[in-house]
Amino acid sequence: MSSILNEIWIARFPLLQGVVNTIEISVLAIILGTLLGTIVGLALVYGPLFVRYLCRIYIDIMRGTPVLVLVLATFYMPAVFGLKTGSFIAGIIALTLFCGSHVAEILRGALQAIPRGQTEAGRSIGLTFPQTLLYVLLPQAMRSMLPTWINTSVELVKASTLLSVIGVGELLLKTQEIIARNSMTMEFYLLAGGIYLILNFAIERLGKAVERHVAFR
């Protein structure tokens, strides 16, 4: 027992750096993916036919592509066009595209589930369509999509482990580097798993708190 505790103490700074990097990657990807997904989702529901087709192609490709393939593609493909992107930026782009496609589909379903009478009611009191969208439709859609969005955020934290294959120093890669030094494979993989569990549990609890707060508004 003292041996594993001693090794954890020795590896405390790499582990902390891995946790910080994982949180940073996940938060950036969730925020950017949510913004992208909101734009695509709105275009998918209210955009011109051609724009809706393009959005549907994007969503189907992103949701049908394994995240690992997406990560490798965003890391290696820019080099074909003479562009250089670091592993961190490539990882953020991959997870943002993945998150955006899911958020767009969630928002589409939430908006289309709102009765058409809500739009007509907004028009009847003199609201323009952008005002109806902002003050009537989106608040209702956000409430209904919040639980699924929380699940997507949790999945994104899990997907961040795949960035280790392109050299991003998140928690899994740091754990592998520590194991390569001390050969304590099971112990440190269990530790990493526990840290991921804590992170995902924190996201779930925070999401539930927001969901309860929104429900009473």
- Work out the number of other CB atoms within 10 angstroms of the CB of residue 140: 15
Q: What is the pLDDT of residues 178-188, one digit of tens each?
A: 999 888 889 89
Q: What percent of the chain has pLDDT over 90?
A: 59
**Is residue 162 classed exposed, middle or buried when 0-12, 13-18 and 19+ CB atoms within 10 A define those classes?**
buried
Angstrom distances, CA of residue 86 to CA of 27, 139, 148: 18, 37, 31
The mean pLDDT value of the chain amounts to 89
pLDDT band at residue 2 under the 50/70/90 scheme: low
Q: How far is CA 163 from the centre of its chain?
A: 13
Q: What is the pLDDT of residues 51-91, one digit of tens each?
A: 999 999 999 999 999 999 999 999 998 878 878 888 999 99
Q: What's the pLDDT at 12? A: 87
Q: What is the pLDDT of residues 96-115, one digit of tens each?
A: 999 999 999 999 999 988 88
CATH of the domain at 86: 1.10.3720.10
Q: Which residues constitute the domain of residue 167? A: 2-215
Sign of CA dihedral 61, 67, 71, 76: negative
Q: What's the pLDDT at 103? A: 95
pLDDT band at residue 1 under the 50/70/90 scheme: low
Alpha helix segments (H runs only) across 47-66? 49-64
**Which amino acid is present at 109?**
G
pLDDT, mean of residues 126-138: 84
Q: Which of 135, 129, 122, 148 lies closest to 46, judged by CA?
A: 129
Distance from the first to the final alpha carbon of the chain: 50
Q: Is residue 4 pLDDT above 90, yes or no? A: no
84 vs 148: which has the higher pLDDT: 148
Q: Is residue 133 pLDDT above 60, yes or no? A: yes
Give how many domains the chain has, as a whole number. Answer: 1
Half-sphere exposure of residue 123, counting CA atoms within 13 Å on the CB side? 6
What phi and psi values does residue 70 have, to the nearest 5 degrees?
-65, -40
Sign of CA dihedral 66, 156, 167, 78: positive
